[in-house]
């Protein structure tokens, strides 16, 4: 093999790996949105970040978690992703008074999932299995994260998009940035709402 062919093959492998990583991140984010049906979104053309602060981080994992440290790490990625996505949805950055104010919330917590012996059996055991006390057979603790994007007008929330994903503690900085970027993109796909 020539070195040029090997180089092209390496570049192709890297591109395929990156595409698969982004695809797996995209599949991991669940999104939902809600909005004020009385608000006319066709009249909103400009937006700005909340002047009291772009967002807030709330953590309910351990007593040692520092929300401010997490905010310093995550906020630049959230801001960059939102700034890139908003023009794609018909909203320009306001130079004067904005039509919409955006605030983000990053919520980090731990959830759990448990299965007990017999939980999938019908209420009446037709298979002749004697009743037994349920015992936990599977217990999993899951770190979960939610990114909430709130749009408000005249001090009232008019649209809220929420993206939820399982967070793995061993994710690299690049994968966390990709997860935040993909969450923002998928959340804002729900804007503007169909009225």
Domain ranges of the chain: 30-120+132-188
What is the reported pTM?
A: 0.70
Q: Which residue from 106, 98, 88, 105 is spatially nearest to 51, judged by alpha carbons?
A: 98
Query: Does residue 128 carry a pLDDT above 80?
Result: no
Q: Which of 33-42, 53-62, 93-102, 176-185 has the lowest mean pLDDT?
A: 53-62
Least confident of 54-58, 161-165, 174-178: 174-178
Domain over 30-120+132-188 is classified CATH 3.60.40? no
- pLDDT (tens digit, 9 = 90+) per residue, 15-31? 444 433 333 344 478 99
pLDDT value, residue 134? 60
What dihedral angle (degrees, nearest 10) is formed by the CA atoms of 17, 18, 23, 25?
110
State yes or no: pLDDT of 10 exceeds 70: no
Q: If we measure between CA atoms, which residue out of 57, 45, 140 comes closest to residue 98? A: 45
HSE-up (13 A, CA, CB side) for residue 138: 7
Give the percent of the chain with pLDDT over 70.
67
In this prediction, residues 162-191 reach a mean pLDDT of 87
């Amino acid at each position: 093999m020539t070195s040029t062919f090997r180089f092209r093959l390496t570049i192709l492998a890297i591109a395929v790996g990156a595409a698969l990583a982004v695809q797996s991140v995209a599949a991991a984010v669940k999104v939902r949105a809600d909005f004020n049906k009385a608000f006319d979104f066709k009249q909103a053309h400009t937006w700005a970040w909340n002047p009291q602060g772009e967002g807030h981080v709330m953590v309910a994992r351990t007593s040692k978690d520092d929300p401010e440290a997490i905010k310093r790490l995550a906020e630049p990625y959230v801001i960059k992703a939102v700034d890139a996505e908003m023009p794609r949805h018909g909203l320009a950055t306001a130079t004067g008074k904005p039509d919409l104010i955006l605030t983000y919330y990053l919520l980090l917590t731990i959830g759990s999932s448990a299965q007990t012996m017999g939980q999938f059996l019908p209420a009446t055991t037709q298979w002749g299995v004697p009743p037994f006390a349920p015992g936990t057979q599977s217990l999993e603790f899951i770190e979960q994260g939610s990114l909430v994007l709130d749009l408000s007008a005249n001090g009232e929330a008019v649209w809220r998009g929420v993206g939820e994903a399982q967070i793995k503690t061993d994710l690299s900085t690049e994968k966390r940035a990709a997860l935040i970027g993909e969450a923002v993109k998928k959340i804002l796909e729900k804007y503007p709402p169909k009225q």
